[in-house]
A and B are shown apart, each in its own frame.
Chain A
């Protein structure tokens, strides 16, 4: 398969970027999208050009590092998968593919397709954890948790913090990420204790870092590689508002 790639190239955070066109040839349909970029980079290195910088790590859909906006979609055209789980057979032979970095004021471009997502780390550091001493691992059923609660918690915990939600949201809102973190802990007895403090602290940090206001479009849910539901945003709203009214 042959493809025309329009890729955002930007030397560093301060430089002005632009799209550059590349052509890749004889790509196997079973090549993953990131492997296709590896092949392109190999060609660029051989040609003495600067390879395209892009984030990646596990390439198994669990680390959340890959963060490409492909043909208008965060993580590409397939729903419920990360960029590394996209294969070239999902594109048409001869297709032009536009590859962009996340676009959000809170995720500044570092180089080419790599953005700085440390804002999410800062939100987590504000309260996305349990601070009680838990000692060694308890017996599996020592603390009874209903199946429904455990399922909801695990669904929210599937969030890999890739940033697709804020990058997709027309408001640059990080609500789905914050909601997933708050919700996954709020549904468990260990996390319930600090629920109010956590919701207030994480929302305050999110606002401080300049993320936008959620307007419930649901775009984040549609583009999330882990299909996190906006029902978790409703729970975050409940947690935050009840905490505020209790103050």
Chain B
């Protein structure tokens, strides 16, 4: 099995598809969790929604650490396979390129730029880990008191530079998901001419929900910092 997942082109694509599916589910969970922070942005806890309680629940408990490790593994696998596939694809394309190139009819820009978008996403992820994870779960692991989640969000997004950087990051994620979500169905064989428009519609809805959900937190806290 390991042979097939690493030695076959379709096996490698399956790994990309499954790891991508896992990351999409995590992103949807993370986005839902972040929306609670908006509810607490004015300092109260409507309907019992408490972002700090979620942060405490996902602190350094064994299940949170296990989840973090699995997530990190998924991210690493997705990135490593992306570079392997791209390297092989460039070699297969050959050294001499076409003099004239065009965008073929019906081909999305994102589908041809997934690695570039992925690199932007990884850079954004590095910034995000520096801004939040290193000051919350990591410091707790090192035996220090983690910072308050809502207050950390408030402080970070009162700086317009971070607002711009995070929105660019979310935009790259939007483009990546518009192709990635429907593509993962195609790779496992769940696609046909009837379902392609539906799958692409689902991909656009998922990507837009993720973008709006994450961007809402950034914009809300930035606007609140102005008033």
Chain A residues with a Cβ under 8 A of chain B: 6, 8, 17, 19, 69, 71-73, 79, 98, 100, 103-106, 168, 170-173, 203-204, 206-207, 210-219, 221-223, 229-231, 233-242, 244
Contacts and interface: CB of A to CB of B under 8 A. Distances in A.
A98 B100 contact: yes
A171 B92 contact: yes
B169 to A, nearest CB: 22
A79 B102 CA distance: 14
Interface of B: 1, 4, 7-14, 85, 88-89, 91-102, 104-108, 111-112, 114, 179, 182-183, 186-193, 196
B115 to A, nearest CB: 9
A215 B99 contact: no
19 contacts: A72-B98, A100-B98, A104-B93, A106-B92, A168-B104, A170-B89, A172-B93, A207-B7, A213-B9, A213-B92, A215-B111, A219-B112, A222-B104, A231-B193, A231-B196, A237-B186, A240-B8, A241-B10, A241-B189
A171 B93 CA distance: 6
A37 to B, nearest CB: 17
B189 A173 contact: no
Given A105-B92, A229-B193, A72 B9 contact: no
Which of A69, A98, A210, A234 neighbours the largest number of chain B CB atoms within 10 Å of its CB? A234
A237 B91 contact: no
A190 B213 CA distance: 52
A103 to B, nearest CB: 5
Nearest to A105: B94
A215 B118 CA distance: 14
Contacts of A216: 111, 179, 182-183, 186-187
B8 A204 contact: yes
Nearest to B111: A217
Nearest to A168: B104
A172 B102 contact: no
Contact of A237 (B4, B95, B98, B188): B188
Contacts of A230: 186, 191, 196
A219 B104 contact: yes
A217 B182 CA distance: 11
A213 B193 CA distance: 21
Contacts of B191: 230-231, 234
Contacts of A173: 9, 89, 92
B102 A234 contact: no
B186 A241 contact: no
Given A98-B100, A100-B99, A241-B14, A217 B107 contact: yes
Contacts of B196: 230-231
Nearest to B183: A216
Contacts of A236: 10
A106 B160 CA distance: 50
B4 to A, nearest CB: 5
A72 B10 CA distance: 28
